Amino acid sequence: MPNPKIKILAITGSTRKNSSNYKILKYIAEHIKTEFEVEIFEDLDQIPHFNPDLDKENPPKQVEAFRNKIIAADGVIICTPEYVFSLPGSLKNILEWCVSTTIFSGKKTGLITASASGEMAHEQLILIMKTLEAGFDENTQLLIQGIRGKINEDGKIINEETEIAVQYFISNFENQF
């Protein structure tokens, strides 16, 4: 009997359809070893605004569904842009819904920030994911600056240095399993 595939939840931090971040996650999904099954979560805009008063016994159904996707996944990859020197509000929102849980504790995680600059958002993402106790290190995180000039409309990485960096990220992420 074949082994079941390792389930990866890939979260795009952009609400824009076919964003550079989505394209990076698609690229990874296509290049990750055959024993991985990748689901790309694109429904950030469907998650209600974080409200601690609603985060009791019965959180909103969209939040519960999102949390269940993380629980069911063997690993998580987050790929986000930077908006106004910070994480996009919609990504921060879904991560805030996870603070009262332990669903990220020890979860094998990869962190990518792909934006024009991205430095501030990347630092914030690392800090938030450390707070959530996600399992990552310097080898499973990647900052891609100037992303728009490094990936084409079809999602092909057209910058050799970036392609090498993404392949290195993929290899390190896979080696966690």
Residue 136 has pLDDT above 90, yes or no: yes
Please, what sign has the CA dihedral across residues 144, 146, 150, 153? positive
pLDDT of residue 34: 86
For the chain, percent of residues with pLDDT exceeding 70: 99
pLDDT digits (tens, 9 = 90+) for 17-73: 999 999 999 999 999 988 899 999 999 999 999 999 999 888 999 999 999 999 999
* Mean pLDDT over the full length of the chain: 95
Whether the CB-CB separation of 81 and 88 falls below 8 Å is answered with yes
The architecture (CATH level 2) of 6-176 comes to 3-Layer(aba) Sandwich (3.40)
Whether the CB-CB separation of 97 and 60 falls below 8 Å is answered with no
Whether the CB-CB separation of 121 and 85 falls below 8 Å is answered with yes
pLDDT digits (tens, 9 = 90+) for 64-104: 999 999 999 999 999 999 999 999 999 999 999 999 999 99
The CA-atom distances, in angstroms, between 171 and each of 105, 149, 165, 166 are: 22, 24, 10, 9
Residue 1 has pLDDT above 80, yes or no: no
Give the mean model confidence (pLDDT) for residues 154-164. 96
pTM: 0.96
